[in-house]
Chains A and B, each alone.
Chain A
Amino acid sequence: MPLQTDGIVVKNERIKSLYFLLGIYCPSIANQIKPGQFIMLKTSDNHSPLLRRPFSIYKNFTNNHPDKRKRDCLFILYKKAGKGTQKMTTFKKEKRISLIGPLGNGFTLPHLPSSTPILLLGGGVGIVPLFPLVEVFKGRKLFVFIGGKTKEDILCVEDFKKYNANISIATEDGSLGFKGTVVDLFLSSKETFQNKEIPYIFSCGPVGMLKELATRLKSKNLNCQVSLEARMGCGFGACWGCVVKTNHPKTPYQRVCKEGPVFNLKDIVWK
Chain B
Amino acid sequence: MQNCDLTVKIGKMIFKNPVIVSSGTFGFGEEFEDFFDLNQLGAIISKGISLSPMKGNPPPRIFETEGGIINSIGLQNPGFQEFIKNKLPYYKNLKTHLIINFFGNTQKEYIELARRFDSVSGISGLEMNISCPNIKKGGIVFGTDPQMAYRLVREVRKATKLTLIVKLSPNVTDIALMAKSAEDGGADAVSLVNTFRAMAVNIHTRKPELGNIIGGLSGPAIKPIALRMVWEVSQAVKIPIIGIGGIMNVEDAIEFILVGASAIQIGTANLVNPRTGIEVIQGINKYLVRNKIDSIQKFIGTFG
A and B part of one assembly: yes
Asked if B287 CB lies within 8 Å of chain A CBs, one says no
Are the C-beta atoms of B73 and A240 separated by less than 8 Å?
yes
Are the C-beta atoms of A240 and B270 separated by less than 8 Å?
no
Nearest residue (CB) in B for A3 is B34
Are the C-beta atoms of A2 and B34 separated by less than 8 Å?
yes
Are the C-beta atoms of A231 and B271 separated by less than 8 Å?
no
| A-contact 0/1 string along B257-277, CB 8 Å cutoff | 000000000001011111100
With A47-B248, A233-B71, A239-B73 already in contact, the answer to whether A100 and B274 are too (CB < 8 A) is yes
Q: List chain A residues, Cβ under 8 A from B73.
A: 239-241
Nearest residue (CB) in B for A234 is B271
Q: Which of A4, A245, A250 has the most CB of B within 10 A?
A: A4
**What's the minimum C-beta distance from A84 to chain B, rounded to whole angstroms?**
9
Nearest residue (CB) in A for B30 is A237
Are the C-beta atoms of A239 and B272 separated by less than 8 Å?
no
| A-contact 0/1 string along B34-48, CB 8 Å cutoff | 110000000000000
Asked if B124 CB lies within 8 Å of chain A CBs, one says no
**What's the minimum C-beta distance from A184 to chain B, rounded to whole angstroms?**
25
Which candidate, B54-62, B87-95, B140-148, is the interface stretch facing chain A? B54-62
**What's the minimum C-beta distance from A240 to chain B, rounded to whole angstroms?**
5
Are the C-beta atoms of A50 and B67 separated by less than 8 Å?
yes
- Other-chain residue from A1, A98, A233, A258 in contact with B69 (beta carbon distance below 8 A): A233
Q: Which of B270-288 contact A (CB under 8 A)?
A: 270-275
Q: List chain B residues, Cβ under 8 A from A240.
A: 24, 27, 56, 61, 73, 76
A50, B70: Cα distance in complex, Å: 12
A4, B278: Cα distance in complex, Å: 13
A240, B53: Cα distance in complex, Å: 15
Are the C-beta atoms of B59 and A48 separated by less than 8 Å?
no
Q: Which of A219-271 contact B (CB under 8 A)?
A: 230-234, 236-245, 250-253, 258
Are the C-beta atoms of B71 and A239 separated by less than 8 Å?
yes
Are the C-beta atoms of A50 and B58 separated by less than 8 Å?
no
Q: List chain B residues, Cβ under 8 A from A51.
A: 64, 69, 271-272
- Other-chain residue from A1, A52, A258 in contact with B34 (beta carbon distance below 8 A): A1
A-to-B contact residues, CB < 8 Å:
1-4, 42, 47-52, 98, 100, 230-234, 236-245, 250-253, 258
3 closest residue pairs by CB, A with B:
A241-B62, A238-B27, A234-B271
Q: List 7 A-B contacts (CB under 8 A).
A: A51-B272, A234-B274, A238-B26, A241-B62, A241-B73, A250-B53, A253-B56
